[in-house]
Amino acid sequence: MILRKRKKPRPLAKLDAIIPRLSPAFPRLADIKKDAAQRQRGYIGEKKVDYYLDNLASKHTILQDVCLRVNGKTTQMDTVISANYATYIVDAKHYMDKIIFNTNLKQLTRSDGKIESGFEYPITQVENQKFHLQNYFFQHNMPNIPIYYFVAIADPSTIMEVVGDEQELAKIVAHAARIPSMILAKEDELSNAGANKLQHWNIGKQILRDCIEYDRDIMREYGIMLDDLSPGVRCLKCKMLGMGRVYGGWRCRKCGGFSSNAHLEALKIYLLCMPYITNSECMRWLGINGKNTATRLMRDSGLQFDPRHRRWIVKN
């Protein structure tokens, strides 16, 4: 069963929300767009890999997008599969065209000529994840769970070449379609060797309890201030920013389109960028004058009032 389902990662959701509201003259806009495109590609790759790994869901416990805090450090794993004899970490990689692994130098060269080495080398990355997960199990009195890892190449058309130990690499890196059978083969091997059977469901539940949401402070990283973002409610029909408040909803000043709930998107975007919203900020952001209207819209949007600080937050 899939205990934890993948959602659009929060940093990507933030970037997607911010970009359409930034001025084209914002100094780092090109970097921000590049970051978003990279994250989007990673997300698509992860979902491609999910498509194959989901085949294991009937007999194993799968957690997608696992982020754990271990010894004060955050570790993120694309997929964790808790099985009868071991736990498997699968890291999804989405490369175009061709990649060359050099197992001696621990270096990967992509077809665009970019070299990933050191901590970015996919196998080093997933080894680190194993190290953190091992510590996590140890801390939770589950020290005897074997951990194995795989690097899943998301795109079936990616060509892999190896300089160095091809056989060793092939035990870890493969196209996503092959990963489920590699996991099943490992399970058979462990079973035949008389390994202890694990309570994979309980292990999965424990990890799920400790999962945190992976996040980045995108606003701070790119030096974006709230004033850099255009306020207003966006028309769902013509995409124009700045719908006017009318009785029972919003009217587009450009195309005349009506919506009863177009403000939901605007509030969602604000609260992706900021941890809370005040009444006056809500009025400014949505372009309305009435204090009571702002309060009603925020309450009806499912936000929660924090009376101590007199501001609204997303309900947990």
Q: Which residues bind Zn ion (CB under 5 A)?
A: 235, 237-238, 240, 252, 254-255, 257
Q: What's the angle, vertex CA 72, arms to CA 41 and CA 60, rounded to 5?
A: 55
Nearer to Zn ion, 98 or 237 (CB): 237
CB of 16 to Zn ion, least distance (A): 20
Distances in Å between the Cα of 144 and the Cα atoms of 86, 141, 189, 203 are 9, 9, 17, 12
CB of 259 to Zn ion, least distance (A): 9
Nearer to Zn ion, 249 or 257 (CB): 257
Nearer to Zn ion, 146 or 242 (CB): 242
Identify the CA nearest to 175 among candidates 256, 90, 112, 113.
90
CB of 294 to Zn ion, least distance (A): 22
Nearer to Zn ion, 49 or 233 (CB): 233
Distance separating the N- and C-terminal Cα atoms of the chain: 25
CB of 23 to Zn ion, least distance (A): 21
CB of 252 to Zn ion, least distance (A): 3
Nearer to Zn ion, 93 or 234 (CB): 234
Structure tokens at 188: 């058979």
Helices 179-192 and 29-53: crossing angle, nearest 10°?
50
CB of 314 to Zn ion, least distance (A): 27
Nearer to Zn ion, 41 or 245 (CB): 245
CB of 260 to Zn ion, least distance (A): 15
Contacts of 203 (CB under 8 A, 6+ apart): 61, 82, 87, 142, 145
Beta carbons of 233 and 266 less than 8 angstroms apart: yes
CB of 233 to Zn ion, least distance (A): 10
Quick one: residue 82, left, alpha or beta (phi over 0 = left, psi -120 to 50 = alpha)? beta
Nearer to Zn ion, 256 or 302 (CB): 256
89: which strand partners? 80, 149
Q: Which residue has the tokens 């992509």?
A: 110
Reported as type and span, the H/E element at residue 147 is strand 147-153
Nearer to Zn ion, 159 or 238 (CB): 238
